[in-house]
Structure 1
Amino acid sequence: MSFQIRHVVVYGRGERARKVTFELGQLNIITGSSRRGKSAIVTIIDYCLGSGGYPVKAGVTRDNSRGFGLMIVSGDRAMYVARPAPERLHKTADRMYVSVVSDPESIPAFDELEFNTNVDTAKQIIGDLCGIDRSLRLPMPGTAGPLSPSIRHALFFVMQEQNEIANQDVLFHTQGDEHRPNAIRAVIPYFLGAVDTEYATLTIRLRALKRELVSLQRALDERAATLGATGQARALLAEAAAVGLLDELPPQGLNESEAVGILRPLSLVDVRSVRQPEAQGDQITALNQQRAELRDRLAGLNIQLTRLRRATNENSDFASEASEQRARLASLGFFGNEDGPVPACPLCGNDAPGAEGTWADMRRELLRLDGEIVAIRTDTPKIDQMMALLAEEIQEVTQLLRTNKAEIDELEAGIQAIARLRDAESRTALVQGRIGFYLEMLDRRDQQPPIRDRTAEIEAEIAEIEVRLEENGNPDLLSSFLARISQNLWEKAQRLELEHSAWPIRLDLRRLTVVADTRNGAVPLPEMGSGENYVGYHVATFLALHEWFAMEDRPVPRILILDQPSQVWFPADYAGDGSHVLPDDDRQSLVRIYQAVMETIARPEVDLQVIVMEHADLEEQWFSDAVRYRWRADGEALIPADWIEEN
């Protein structure tokens, strides 16, 4: 499904209405002088198709318009869409008129319009007519949320405004707007047909799960670091012993509950009654030694795990190779009879006398391969079990290292704070305050809702989705489609005689540009130089895309709108009054642009409507036949002269 434009309507004051009509499936040219309203046609279409703002520029068209309408046709269906101009002091109008009509040539008067829906609903209705799947959710690069394709996204591939068609830095419509490049990258696989609903849904779910896993792990780590207590509690016990709150340092191996049970009474001790302890051993040194031992142990465990993983990979590779060799031997058919070879050769069908030795050797090789395959299949589960045990031990040692680090940090902070105090009573009071603060934070933690560790559950779902995506998805599909589109783009660039077209030309979706792969490396569009190249590659790209959309029946309007493709061959201040004569080379370049357009339209499988706003007015008959309006003489414009005079 798709649609094309039959009429663009401008409503003036009173009952006035200006209807601009286009032929379906043909080249439609509006040529004329500057400031006649040609470019306003593009913005009116944009506005009626649900733009967020009011793109009609300030000037004659905006000053003399009450609203705008668009008659769109899809097969034997027609729909009329209208939107009022914004009221004074408003940036846009949020109400629209959408209605299916029986006669596409009949245009309702402005006062007959009942603006019956809002802009968002209107966009959905127009998207439905185009065939866009509004239920689809696409992963949006650079953002957390998914994106639903709409008619607004389809316009990326429909319009080329005057400041876009010759722009070396912008290839697609509105690409220069903030956040728009990521939206283009997100929707183009869908509009090309390289993604389906299930694949997109799974991709979005996978991204959400990975974000959830990172968030959960961060929360668990923060909770363990700030309130996990075992290392921090032991460090506080060491500080308490150092200032005399405890007679001696408790033994190692206390759990959190036991350590807290010793600390809690210490927060109530009268520091004036505390006797200063005798000098004790250096606890920091002991903890650093313990840390070094834990690191050595962790390094050894990681080496063992790496070796087991390597053994698993080698077993898998060998089993695959051995199975393939066995299949080759078995396929020869010598082994159906255990007593000896069959009388005829399985390859040629002739008798094979004297084949006993060869048969015996091949059978022994087959039995050896069978034994090795069985041995590997027996060993692999054992290796997997050993790897699981090692992973658990690595996790345990990692947690011990975290606890050790927390204990060292707490002790060092306490030592530094105590060192700043001169008298023993103040040092004891400081440690007691640190214990009280720790116990208070611990009590707050206990009052908070617990964090459920869903790590294993989330990781299992991530693994399942990744398997489904690998089995059901086709990551090479988009690359394949782009390769075919790029081949067509390259052929069009050669017919247009563009620079660098002697080398392969491709569409680069990562950078959203056209690239020539030359002998000296990739040359993107911004580096190609020449306005003729910029226009030519834009036109070639959009024609190649629309041929693909049509042949694959993709939900993109069968419309290509080009505003001033000839601009690069005219002076910057040219008024479009016919005073400038193109040199022969420039004229031939412009002719080639239009010939490429007409070649695409002429293809029977491509039903494409092309609307062009132009300064140029070529003398060729085919060009004149495509001209729908010439706005050059006085009074000839989108807004009639009598509208302006009355206003």
Structure 2
Amino acid sequence: MKFSINKILLWLKSGNLREIKFRRNKINVITGDSGTGKTEILSIIDYCFFGSRADITDEIINENVTWYGINFNINDNVYTLGRRCIEKREVSKDYFFHADGYIPKMPAVNNDEKQIKKIIDKEFSITERTVFPYGGKNITLGSKISPRYFFMFNTLSGDTIDHSEIFFDKQNIDRYRDALMNIFDLAVGIETEENLLKKEKLNVLKADLKQWRRKLTLIDKEVEVFNKNIVDLSKKAKEFNLIDYDLTDPAKLMKRFDEISSTYKEESIEINLERINKLKTEKNKILRKIRNLKKFKLEIERYKKLEKNKLDSLKPVRILNESYKLLKIPELD
């Protein structure tokens, strides 16, 4: 596939048509003083090819233009693609397209973006199967490749030429940076659409395999917990003599548990209201006794404390009684 731009077209508000011509199969160098609009040429190309950003300078250029256009070749076919100018910093949805390269005096809307993209995609040999084999932060794995990404191999801005580490335009835009790593081999012919399709299927299979491995890990953990529960349940069953002590095989244990659960019948319980009321009465009596005993216990503790205080107050008398004898004083006549 060979792609080249023949002309950039500017339909001015004055009614004139300005053309910037390029030579095919040559390196076209655009020179000029700073501020003369060299960078705008790349912005116009991007805008005509369905750009979603209004990057064209409004002063001098956009304010004097009604339509932007490109006359270009894909292989042996010549096309003319025009797009209405930017208004109020909003990109236009109006397009002019001619499959024979016809350049009108003033374009008129004759097609829509979706239909034009189908034609250009076909010329670029891009089908629904031409997708990104790898994903990224800004590109979804398996999403369709746009022809716009291949323009990175057609132009070099002055900033890119001066840069010592960046060799392609638009590497300041995340999605273009991610796209370059995906389409480079395809652009230079190392990769084919068939291989891209195989890689996409391989990536899908890898993702499925990863997902199944995660599920298998979860299942293994659940099986481990289940087996532990079986062991715990078997211990309790053995305590109640429901199963034999030498039964340890999980499958046989499950079978035995099924037998026990299927043959178990819940005994019917007769409700005797008279008996229940009698038990409630006895319960209330016991509760009253407990309250009385607690009260009695508190009184005993208070009594003991009081007696202790009295006993402590009599200690001096006891000491005097033990240390001294009463003296008898004779009576006086």
Report if TM-score (shorter chain) is over 0.5: yes
Structure 1 residues 28 and 167: CA distance shift in structure 2, 3 A: closer
Query: 1:5 and 2:5 equivalent?
Result: yes
Matched length: 260
Return the alpha-carbon distance in structure 1 between the equivalents of residues 27 and 45 of structure 2. Answer: 17
1:125 to 94, 97, 119: 119
Structure 1 residues 197 and 22: CA distance shift in structure 2, 3 A: closer
Spell out the pairing of 1:448-459 with structure 2 (5 A cutoff). Answer: none
Spell out the pairing of 1:38-187 with structure 2 (5 A cutoff). Answer: 38-74=38-74, 77-88=77-88, 90=90, 92-101=91-100, 103=102, 106-110=103-107, 113-118=108-113, 120-129=114-123, 131-134=124-127, 135-142=129-136, 145-187=141-183
Secondary structure of the corresponding residue to residue 53 of structure 1: coil
Return the alpha-carbon distance in structure 1 between the equivalents of residues 189 and 200 of structure 2. Answer: 18
AA partner of residue 84 (structure 2): P
Return the alpha-carbon distance in structure 2 between the equivalents of residues 203 and 156 of structure 1. Answer: 23
Return the alpha-carbon distance in structure 1 between the equivalents of residues 209 and 56 of structure 2. Answer: 47
Secondary structure of the corresponding residue to residue 182 of structure 1: helix
Structure 1 residues 136 and 260: CA distance shift in structure 2, 3 A: farther
1:342-396 Cα offsets, whole Å, 9 max, x none, are: xxxxxxxxxxxxxxxxxxxxxxxxxxxxxxxxxxxxxxxxxxxxxxxxxxxxxxx
Of the two, which has the highest radius of gyration?
2
CA contact (8 A) 2:54 2:89 kept: no
1:434-462 Cα offsets, whole Å, 9 max, x none, are: xxxxxxxxxxxxxxxxxxxxxxxxxxxxx
Query: 1:35 and 2:35 equivalent?
Result: yes
Secondary structure of the corresponding residue to residue 161 of structure 2: coil
Shift of 1:58: 4.6
CA contact (8 A) 1:5 1:22 kept: yes
Spell out the pairing of 1:411-450 with structure 2 (5 A cutoff). Answer: none
Which protein is richer in helix relative to its size? 1
Q: Hey, what does 1:23 align to over in structure 2? A: 23
Shift of 1:173: 2.0
Structure 1 residues 33 and 158: CA distance shift in structure 2, 3 A: same
CA contact (8 A) 1:132 1:149 kept: no
Q: Hey, what does 1:623 align to over in structure 2? A: none
The structure with higher relative contact order (CA 8 Å, sep 6+) is: 1
Return the alpha-carbon distance in structure 2 between the equivalents of residues 11 and 191 of structure 1. Answer: 33
CA contact (8 A) 1:230 1:259 kept: no
Return the alpha-carbon distance in structure 2 between the equivalents of residues 188 and 199 of structure 1. Answer: 14
Could you tell me the percent identity over the aligned residues? Answer: 18
Secondary structure of the corresponding residue to residue 230 of structure 2: helix
Give me the CA root mean square deviation: 3.6
Return the alpha-carbon distance in structure 1 between the equivalents of residues 63 and 235 of structure 2. Answer: 81
1:124-163 Cα offsets, whole Å, 9 max, x none, are: 423433x434343451255772254432121121122233
1:43-90 Cα offsets, whole Å, 9 max, x none, are: 101111232323324533233333311111356532110112344363
Return the alpha-carbon distance in structure 1 between the equivalents of residues 27 and 193 of structure 2. Answer: 35
* TM-score of the aligned structures, taking structure 2 as reference length: 0.64
CA contact (8 A) 2:135 2:141 kept: no
2:184 to 184, 188, 191: 188
Structure 1 residues 169 and 177: CA distance shift in structure 2, 3 A: farther
**Comparing 205-214 with 20-29, which one deviates more in the overlay?**
20-29
AA partner of residue 114 (structure 1): V
Return the alpha-carbon distance in structure 1 between the equivalents of residues 76 and 18 of structure 2. Answer: 24
AA partner of residue 96 (structure 2): Y
1:80-132 Cα offsets, whole Å, 9 max, x none, are: 10112344363x334432211365xx43403xx214121x5434423433x43
Shift of 1:199: 2.7
AA partner of residue 128 (structure 1): K
**Comparing 38-47 with 216-225, which one deviates more in the overlay?**
216-225
Shift of 1:41: 0.8
CA contact (8 A) 1:237 1:249 kept: no
CA contact (8 A) 2:78 2:100 kept: yes
Return the alpha-carbon distance in structure 2 between the equivalents of residues 30 and 174 of structure 1. Answer: 18
Secondary structure of the corresponding residue to residue 93 of structure 1: coil
CA contact (8 A) 1:132 1:151 kept: no
Structure 1 residues 88 and 21: CA distance shift in structure 2, 3 A: same
Q: Hey, what does 1:427 align to over in structure 2? A: none
1:609-631 Cα offsets, whole Å, 9 max, x none, are: xxxxxxxxxxxxxxxxxxxxxxx
AA partner of residue 155 (structure 2): M
Secondary structure of the corresponding residue to residue 208 of structure 1: helix
CA contact (8 A) 1:238 1:249 kept: no
* TM-score of the aligned structures, taking structure 1 as reference length: 0.35
Return the alpha-carbon distance in structure 2 between the equivalents of residues 9 and 263 of structure 1. Answer: 89
Return the alpha-carbon distance in structure 2 between the equivalents of residues 49 and 178 of structure 1. Answer: 19
CA contact (8 A) 2:156 2:169 kept: yes
Q: Hey, what does 1:457 align to over in structure 2? A: none
Structure 1 residues 174 and 121: CA distance shift in structure 2, 3 A: farther
Return the alpha-carbon distance in structure 1 between the equivalents of residues 257 and 211 of structure 2. Answer: 29
Shift of 1:263: 9.5
AA partner of residue 232 (structure 1): K
Structure 1 residues 234 and 26: CA distance shift in structure 2, 3 A: closer
Return the alpha-carbon distance in structure 2 between the equivalents of residues 93 and 264 of structure 1. Answer: 74
Structure 1 residues 152 and 144: CA distance shift in structure 2, 3 A: closer
Return the alpha-carbon distance in structure 1 between the equivalents of residues 66 and 256 of structure 2. Answer: 79
